[in-house]
């Protein structure tokens, strides 16, 4: 923080009211996370209210840990025991108060503040610009993509008095969100990276989205943008005072005219200013997106009057790395968290928090390097030690000179290596078994070399799962529900292809109430991987009774015969088994029909060992308006059957009927619980709210080879691909065995390369597919191709081959590695 605050100052800034007593401490830390408190007596804990949790629940524990100041909602009433132990600063809304505190800190910072917004490239541009500027200045920047209503204030609290420039990212997802961020950041200089063309969630048009984002720069002195982006350029030049604008362009007149000389692995970037002064830099990239991000960073660095020589030194260290925190399968059953681009304390906190949310493993291992952080090492490493302690790390591998200090604090847990090379030489792969390993450190240490050793080989094709998008979609459906309605999430079929274990684990942290799988062994896997939520099994068989019991799985019972068998089993073993009754109201798949009800009531009486946890039915056409009447009939019949069954019970089971589409279409029938499936994975099948969901999975592959073919050539088996005029094709490392449907052959399907459509040419092969890239310039071997994800929607692909998104999702082969990330 720039300046520590006393309780009374906090009250003044936030308009709050004091309850209890303040000991008058200077508050130099503001925290919203009970596990990240480093100096309890100097911490102001802000109790935020979220969809799943209320920060206020942690207050009693925090008081025990020594925290004495809490910012709380005005309806929070501390109990008598704690009232005299701490100060409770009551405000109307703690999130707003957090923002007010941030705005206040910001107003005390007099050095330049630069802010970045746009659709893509914000985080990379911020990181790269940070790298360039840190050659000459002491730079504060937002950790990761901390760019939201809460992330921005937290970023501001990371600014210290010694910083000479601050770079903050701002991201919004709907109208009205930028104004609060602008009030906090109040940037002097801005960068508008670009505007996506894909979909406009939360905005009525792209223009509106641009104008909303421009609010960030309303009082900025300068705004950097690229004139080659048609729509963005138009709006900016219409809305913003021309004297503030700093433009760059490859094609048009601009403050900086840019040309790129693209080589094998590097590009020479030449910038010519209007007065013809010229700057030349070498950047270690050749692809379009990286060049755009790097050019924004270059123009900003030059605008801040950084010396070109130090800019080049900064450029030499840039690497094209994955900025995201990713979770991947490791060797020996380990789970690997890759955060090799992190280089400060704030980033370390994010990574440790993510680690703490993963399912339990044998040990928690932390591999980390020196942090490249300004300030005194004593203080910084004392904080690192506190953090490590509060997250209960079992084993630490420390790389670097400064981090050696940790071995004084953790003598029995720390192994110390002076350099990354030393660690690689002595790395004993076999010492990692079923561990959770976090690899994190400053980029100079190139710890990705360690990740490469510890991860399972990933071949060309990967399925990336965006956990933030999953959270977003879960919360979208939560918002459709009345308070108290529970959510069962369907993680059958490998969680619709996304990977059941990691998704189930994430849902557990999000606060889902129930999980459902199709078969018993799917449930067993989840239990073996440490998932604790109740799990319903849709289609159990008699042979699995032992497993159901051993692993505490709750079977669906769908016929009198099955009821009786399970009842006998339970009474022979003298155990209670929670069961779920499937009532068939029209699906005609499994389930009790009306005619079974009398028999069912007798069975319920005869086998009290089977405890009915829930009663449900399944709608056959909730996604389609044409079936509206039928759906209502099903729901009516369900209510009738439910009433009958309840009359035989002395307790009340949970009642549920709605799947994802039902949640949207039949809000009056939420009852006790809903069963969320495809919606969580980003497909809103009724089409009513499609833009409000985010794409969760991206299937990617790489280009193995590129060929230029003469007129009349044919491509692939049976000569089905025809190139009468010749052309260029790329061979992709994905085929129907990976789940790329063979029906995409012959131009039915396409992939995205450099953001452009490349149609499939010829037949999809078992492990490979050829696409026509004649229309896409400069493509190279090794580049990525997107099979589906943002910008290439599943529904469109499914329509093209006459199927449904469900099938495409669940068809991805298990040989395709799943990688999870936070963006």
Minimum CB separation of residue 547 from ligand PLP in Å reads 20
Q: Which lies closer to ligand PLP via its Cβ, residue 624 or residue 783?
A: 624
User: Is 651 part of the annotated catalytic residue set?
Assistant: no
Q: Can you read off the two tokens belonging to residue 99?
A: 């923002």
Q: Which lies closer to ligand PLP via its Cβ, residue 678 or residue 785?
A: 678
**Measured at the alpha carbon of residue 594, what is the angle toward residues 591 and 596, in degrees to the nearest 5?**
70
Minimum CB separation of residue 570 from ligand PLP in Å reads 23
d(CA 724, CA 718): 16
Q: Which lies closer to ligand PLP via its Cβ, residue 367 or residue 678?
A: 678
Minimum CB separation of residue 549 from ligand PLP in Å reads 23
546-554, Cβ contacts within 8 angstroms, sequence gap of 24 or more: 547/520, 547/521, 548/520, 548/523, 548/577, 549/573, 549/575, 549/577, 551/523, 551/524, 551/527, 552/527, 553/520, 553/523, 553/524, 553/527, 554/578, 554/579, 554/580, 554/613
**Which one of the listed residues 174, 252, 707, 717 is annotated catalytic?**
717
d(CA 173, CA 177): 7
Minimum CB separation of residue 675 from ligand PLP in Å reads 4
d(CA 224, CA 245): 6
CB 531 within 8 A of CB 504: yes
Minimum CB separation of residue 680 from ligand PLP in Å reads 8
Helices marked H in 240-287 — which ranges? none
Give the residues across from 257 on adjacent strands. Answer: 249, 272
d(CA 692, CA 686): 12
Widest distance between CA atoms in the chain: 93
Tokens 């403050």 found at: 255
CB 799 within 8 A of CB 444: no
DSSP H/E element including 577: strand 577-582
Beta strand 256-262 with 713-715: parallel, antiparallel or unpaired? unpaired
d(CA 271, CA 277): 8
Phi (first) and psi of residue 260, to 5 degrees: -115, 130
Q: Under the rule (CB under 6 A), what is the footprint of ligand PLP?
A: 490, 538, 618, 659-661, 675-679
Tokens 């155990």 found at: 575
CB 535 within 8 A of CB 553: yes
Minimum CB separation of residue 751 from ligand PLP in Å reads 26
Residues whose CB is less than 8 angstroms from the CB of residue 588 and which lie 6 or more positions away in sequence, other chains included: none
Buried b (16+ CB within 10 A) or exposed e, 56-79: bebbeebbeeebbbbbbbeebebe
CB 214 within 8 A of CB 191: no
HSE-CB of 231 using CA atoms within 13 angstroms: 12
d(CA 86, CA 78): 10
Minimum CB separation of residue 640 from ligand PLP in Å reads 19
Q: Which lies closer to ligand PLP via its Cβ, residue 460 or residue 621?
A: 621
| Three-state secondary structure of 510-571 | HCCCEEEECCHHHHHHHHHCCCCCCEEECCCCHHHHHHHHHCCCEEEECCHHHHHHHHHHHH
Q: Which lies closer to ligand PLP via its Cβ, residue 190 or residue 621?
A: 621
Minimum CB separation of residue 656 from ligand PLP in Å reads 9
Q: Is 443 annotated as contributing to ligand binding? A: no
d(CA 493, CA 805): 14
User: Is 666 part of the annotated catalytic residue set?
Assistant: no
Q: Which lies closer to ligand PLP via its Cβ, residue 295 or residue 614?
A: 614
Give the residues across from 770 on adjacent strands. Answer: 731
Residue with smallest beta-carbon separation from ligand PLP = 677
Residues whose CB is less than 8 angstroms from the CB of residue 726 and which lie 6 or more positions away in sequence, other chains included: 708, 709, 710, 711, 712, 713
Q: Which lies closer to ligand PLP via its Cβ, residue 344 or residue 522?
A: 522
Q: Which lies closer to ligand PLP via its Cβ, residue 103 or residue 537?
A: 537
Q: Which lies closer to ligand PLP via its Cβ, residue 396 or residue 678?
A: 678
**Which one of the listed residues 361, 492, 642, 694 is annotated catalytic?**
492
Beta strand 713-715 with 87-91: parallel, antiparallel or unpaired? unpaired
Helices marked H in 411-519 — which ranges? 420-426, 448-454, 467-480, 492-496, 500-510
Minimum CB separation of residue 684 from ligand PLP in Å reads 10
Minimum CB separation of residue 695 from ligand PLP in Å reads 16
> Cα 613 vs. chain centroid, distance in angstroms?
33
d(CA 680, CA 694): 9
d(CA 264, CA 595): 74
Minimum CB separation of residue 177 from ligand PLP in Å reads 29
Q: Which lies closer to ligand PLP via its Cβ, residue 99 or residue 520?
A: 520
d(CA 356, CA 235): 44
Q: Which lies closer to ligand PLP via its Cβ, residue 85 or residue 539?
A: 539
Q: Is 766 annotated as contributing to ligand binding? A: yes
Q: Which lies closer to ligand PLP via its Cβ, residue 62 or residue 680?
A: 680
Minimum CB separation of residue 104 from ligand PLP in Å reads 46
Query: Which residues are documented as binding site?
Result: 589, 766
Query: Which residues are documented as binding site for substrate?
Result: 589, 766
By annotation, the residues acting in catalysis are: 492, 717
């Amino acid at each position: 923080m720039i300046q520590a605050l006393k309780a009374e100052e906090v009250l003044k800034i936030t308009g709050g009211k004091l309850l209890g007593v303040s000991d008058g401490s200077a508050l130099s830390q503001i925290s919203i996370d009970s596990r990240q408190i480093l100096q309890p007596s100097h911490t102001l804990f802000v109790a935020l209210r979220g969809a799943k949790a209320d920060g206020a629940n942690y207050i009693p524990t925090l008081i025990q840990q020594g925290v004495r100041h809490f910012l709380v909602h005005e309806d929070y009433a501390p109990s008598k025991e704690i009232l005299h132990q701490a100060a409770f600063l009551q405000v109307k809304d703690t999130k707003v108060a957090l923002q007010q505190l941030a705005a206040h800190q910001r107003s005390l910072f007099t050095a330049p503040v630069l802010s970045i917004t746009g659709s893509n490239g914000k985080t990379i541009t911020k990181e790269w610009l940070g790298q360039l500027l840190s050659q000459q200045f002491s730079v504060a920047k937002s950790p990761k993509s901390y760019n939201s209503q809460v992330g921005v204030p937290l970023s501001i609290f990371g600014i210290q008095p010694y910083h000479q420039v601050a770079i903050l990212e701002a991201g919004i997802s709907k109208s009205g969100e930028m104004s609060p961020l602008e009030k906090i950041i109040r940037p002097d200089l801005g960068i508008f990276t670009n505007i996506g063309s894909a979909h406009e969630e939360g905005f009525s048009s792209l223009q509106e989205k641009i104008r909303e984002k421009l609010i960030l720069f309303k009082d900025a002195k300068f705004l950097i943008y690229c004139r080659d982006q048609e729509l963005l350029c138009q709006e900016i030049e219409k809305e913003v005072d021309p004297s503030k604008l700093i433009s760059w362009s490859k094609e048009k007149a601009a403050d900086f005219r840019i040309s790129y000389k693209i080589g094998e692995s590097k590009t020479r970037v030449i910038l010519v200013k209007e007065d013809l002064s010229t700057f030349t830099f070498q950047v270690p990239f050749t692809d379009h997106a990286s060049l755009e991000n790097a050019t924004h960073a270059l123009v900003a660095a030059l605008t801040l009057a950084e010396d070109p020589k130090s800019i080049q030194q900064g450029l030499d260290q840039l690497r094209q790395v994955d900025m995201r925190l990713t979770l991947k399968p490791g060797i020996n059953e380990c789970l690997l968290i890759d955060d090799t681009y992190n280089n400060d304390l704030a980033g370390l906190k994010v990574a440790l928090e993510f680690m703490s949310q993963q399912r339990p493993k044998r040990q928690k291992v932390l591999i980390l390097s020196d942090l490249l952080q300004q300030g005194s090492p004593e203080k910084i490493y004392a904080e690192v030690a506190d953090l490590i302690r509060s997250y209960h790390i079992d084993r630490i591998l420390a790389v670097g000179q400064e981090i050696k200090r940790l071995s004084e604090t953790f003598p029995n847990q720390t192994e110390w290596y002076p350099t990354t090379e030393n660690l690689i030489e002595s790395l004993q792969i076999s010492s990692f078994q079923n561990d959770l390993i976090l690899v994190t450190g400053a980029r100079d240490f190139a710890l990705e070399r360690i990740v490469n050793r510890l991860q399972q080989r990933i071949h060309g094709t990967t399925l990336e799962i965006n956990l933030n998008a999953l959270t977003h979609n879960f919360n979208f459906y939560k918002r459709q529900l009345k308070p108290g309605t529970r959510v069962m999430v369907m993680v059958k079929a490998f969680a619709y292809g996304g990977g059941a274990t990691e998704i189930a684990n994430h849902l557990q942290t999000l606060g889902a109430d129930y999980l459902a799988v199709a078969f018993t062994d799917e449930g067993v896997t989840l239990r073996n991987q440490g998932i604790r939520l109740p799990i319903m099994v849709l289609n159990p068989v008699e042979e699995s009774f032992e497993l159901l019991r051993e692993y505490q799985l709750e079977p669906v019972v769908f016929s009198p015969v099955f009821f009786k068998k399970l009842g006998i089993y339970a009474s022979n073993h003298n155990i209670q088994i929670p069961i779920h009754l499937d009532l068939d109201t029209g699906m005609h798949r499994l389930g009790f029909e009306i005619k079974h009800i009398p028999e069912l009531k007798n069975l319920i009486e005869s086998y009290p060992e089977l405890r009915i946890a829930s009663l449900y039915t399944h709608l056959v056409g909730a996604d389609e308006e044409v079936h509206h009447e039928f759906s209502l009939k099903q729901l009516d019949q369900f209510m009738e059957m439910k009433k009958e069954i309840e009359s035989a019970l002395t307790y009340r089971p949970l009642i549920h009927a709605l799947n994802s589409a039902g949640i949207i279409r039949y809000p009056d029938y939420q009852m006790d619980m809903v069963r969320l499936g495809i919606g969580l994975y980003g497909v809103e099948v009724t089409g009513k709210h499609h833009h409000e969901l985010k794409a969760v999975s991206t299937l990617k592959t790489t280009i193995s080879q590129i060929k230029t073919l003469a007129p009349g050539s044919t491509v692939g088996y049976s000569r089905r691909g025809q190139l009468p005029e010749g052309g260029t094709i790329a061979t992709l490392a994905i085929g129907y065995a990976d789940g790329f449907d063979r029906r995409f052959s012959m131009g039915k399907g396409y992939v995205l390369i450099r953001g452009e459509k490349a149609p499939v040419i010829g037949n999809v092969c078992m492990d490979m597919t050829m696409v026509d890239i004649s229309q896409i310039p400069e493509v190279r071997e090794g580049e990525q191709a997107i099979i589906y994800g943002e910008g290439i929607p599943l529904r469109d692909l499914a329509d093209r081959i006459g199927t449904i998104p469900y099938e495409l999702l669940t068809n991805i082969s298990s040989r395709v590695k799943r990688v999870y990330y936070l963006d």
